[in-house]
Structure 1
């Protein structure tokens, strides 16, 4: 595969990954709002039970899970806007082809590109096309802006960058959150609301834990 094709492939992988991360962020927020609010109550009561009756190590672990869940709930973002449009994906793809860190050959250039890519991902998540355009204009005036000549031979570094991007995408797709999102989508195709089912399960568990706590307090 020629270098321009590898650059295109690298940029496309970054679009797919950024889009997936945006979808996962929105799904995670919905999960926390619908299911997490119940889970955190369960974990709080479980921590109380273990503190009173269980081994110290189990009680500490339960308290830690409760604190982590509480922190996650406090950080739940507002409901997201519409998914990225095709125009926004095109803007992101073109920008990534210009400023991807793996296209740089020295540490200074890579660090500069990483800072730009971080801002690019943030702008993409926010759906801010103007911000992406501004980043591209800033990049083009930087000393690290480069353009590969048409038909240039691929380099081992560029091929490795594509392979690493593919691995990052697959790792994200294989994550527990992505798996749950896929299961939720498949359930919706069958007319089921998986998150509602999980909430019902959590509410049932909460009722059981409350009974145990009430017994402990008597």
Structure 2
């Protein structure tokens, strides 16, 4: 694959990864609102029940992790439009750190790429356009018509991006999203089913705590 093609592929992979992260963020927010709000109560009671047992530390850790997730999940932006995806892909083709030939350029590009991903996750097309305009005035800007560095370096960057995307698709959250979408195709609401399970666990935990308190 020629260097310009590798550059296009790298930008496409970054767009796919950023889109998946946006989808997972939205799904995570929905999961916490529908299931996590019950599950955190279950874990709080389970941590109380586990006090003084070998399971105490793990139960307390799970409760803290879920509480932190409930408090820190950002408000999800609307799904990215095709125009926003194109805008991001074109920006990544210019800004990607793996297009830089030295450490200084890479560090500069990483800072821009971080802002680019944040703007994409917010659905902020204006911010993406501003970042591209700022980047074009940078001494590290590389013309789109050229490659930065030899093709082997770009090929390695593409391979790493493919691996990162595959890992994101294989995450627990991504698998749960796939299961939820598959259930919808068969007329089921998987998150509602998980909420019912959490409510049953909550009722059971409350009974156990009440038995101990009495």
Structure 2: distance between partners of 1:206 and 1:4:
56
Could you say which residue in structure 2 is the equivalent of 1:61? Answer: 58
- Assess if the C-alpha contact under 8 Å between 1:6 and 1:154 holds in 2: no
Structure 1, unpaired ranges of 5+? none
**Are 1:27 and 2:30 an aligned pair?**
no
Hey, which bits of structure 1, 4+ residues long, moved more than 3 A? 148-154
The total of aligned residue pairs comes to 214
The 5-angstrom pairing of residues 152-191 of structure 1 reads 155-191=151-187
| TM superposition shift of 1:45 | 0.5
For residues 41-69 of structure 1, the C-alpha deviation after alignment (integer angstroms, 9 at most, x for no partner) is: 111101111115x23xx112211111111
Structure 2: distance between partners of 1:157 and 1:71:
39
The 5-angstrom pairing of residues 31-180 of structure 1 reads 31-52=31-52, 54-55=53-54, 58-78=55-75, 80-147=76-143, 149=145, 155-180=151-176
Structure 2, unpaired ranges of 5+? none
Structure 2: distance between partners of 1:177 and 1:215:
35
Identify if the C-alpha distance between structure 1 residues 151 and 120 changes in structure 2 by more than 3 Å, giving closer, same or farther: closer
- Assess if the C-alpha contact under 8 Å between 1:2 and 1:151 holds in 2: no
Q: 1:203 aligns with which of 186, 199, 203?
A: 199
Identify if the C-alpha distance between structure 1 residues 137 and 151 changes in structure 2 by more than 3 Å, giving closer, same or farther: closer
What is the aligned-residue RMSD (CA, Å)? 1.5
| TM superposition shift of 1:151 | 8.6
- Assess if the C-alpha contact under 8 Å between 1:4 and 1:152 holds in 2: no
Query: Helix, strand or coil: the match of 1:207?
Result: helix
Structure 1: distance between partners of 2:133 and 2:74:
30
**Length-normalised TM-score, structure 2:** 0.96
**Length-normalised TM-score, structure 1:** 0.94
| TM superposition shift of 1:82 | 2.3
For residues 83-141 of structure 1, the C-alpha deviation after alignment (integer angstroms, 9 at most, x for no partner) is: 11111111100100001001111111000000000000011111111111110010010
Structure 2: distance between partners of 1:119 and 1:131:
9
Could you say which residue in structure 2 is the equivalent of 1:16? Answer: 16
Identify if the C-alpha distance between structure 1 residues 40 and 155 changes in structure 2 by more than 3 Å, giving closer, same or farther: same
